[in-house]
Amino acid sequence: MKLTNTLSMMKKLLLLAIVLTSLNIISQSSFESWNTLNVKGKINPRLTLAIEGEQRYNFTYNYIRYFHTDLGLVHEINDQLSIGSYYRELYEVKNGSRVIEIRPHLDFFYKFNDKWNVRIRNEYQIKELDSNIYRFRIRPTYKYKINKAFSLFIQTEGFFVSTSLVRNRFNPGIAIVLDKIIIEPGYMLESNNKESWNHIHIFWINTKIKF
């Protein structure tokens, strides 16, 4: 009887801790919406041209905080491995001013099976105001296919500078397939380590078009 009461009390305390932690995260967070358009077209059976544009709107300050464009070439090595080289140019509001940043990056895409894949990104950030840095990112993805039109997925992505984890993203979403168009709405919790950890709640939609 005592063991049952103890377990019941532990469950209640755990639930209370989860609720308090969640409220604390929300109270220290801001909210954004991200909209991405990704267009890909085959140059030949092994080479794909990729173009992407993304806009990020911050609800706390009521303005478009960030916009980037990507241009890249993806080479399919085999059915599991692809390598992409990209040029990214972005504009971002920092300290009340709009700054430009250039981020060339090299991506490795590896597919373990129909459910698991990973993207590894090596990027060099050429900054307007701050020192340039090299950053390493790794994003595993789990996908569960419901049918031909719908899939559920979960991603998490760690950002590393040297050996330090400076950012982490966790985002569940759904993929809706409409012939050559894929629409992916979802939610993301982004955690940034700047002196102390802070959090951003992001509601995003990614539209992919393939030719």
The string of pLDDT tens digits covering residues 21-54 is: 443 444 446 899 999 999 999 999 999 999 999 9
Q: 122-139, pLDDT tens digit by residue?
A: 999 999 878 899 999 999
Three-state DSSP class for residue 95: coil
- Position 95 scores a pLDDT of 82
Phi, psi of 128 (to 5 degrees): -80, -40
Residue 86 lies in a domain: yes
Number of domains in the chain: 1
Residue range(s) defining the domain that contains residue 161: 32-210
Q: For position 183, which CATH number holds? A: 2.40.160.40
Residue 113, SS3 per DSSP: coil
109-124 core/surface letters (b: 16 or more CB in 10 A; e: else): beeeeeeebebebebe
pLDDT tops 50 at residue 186? yes
Would you say residue 89 lies in a domain?
yes
* 20, part of any domain: no
Supply φ then ψ for residue 173, to 5 degrees. -160, 180
What are the tokens at 10?
A: 């532990």
Q: Residue 66: inside a domain, yes or no?
A: yes
Q: What is the average pLDDT across 159-179?
A: 96
Tell me whether residue 13 is in a domain: no
H or E segment to which residue 20 belongs: helix 2-27
Whether 51 is covered by a domain: the verdict is yes
- Residue 86 pLDDT > 70: yes
Per-residue confidence (pLDDT) for residue 169, from 0 to 100:
98
Q: Is the dihedral of CA 63, 88, 71, 144 positive or negative?
A: negative
At 125 the pLDDT is 97
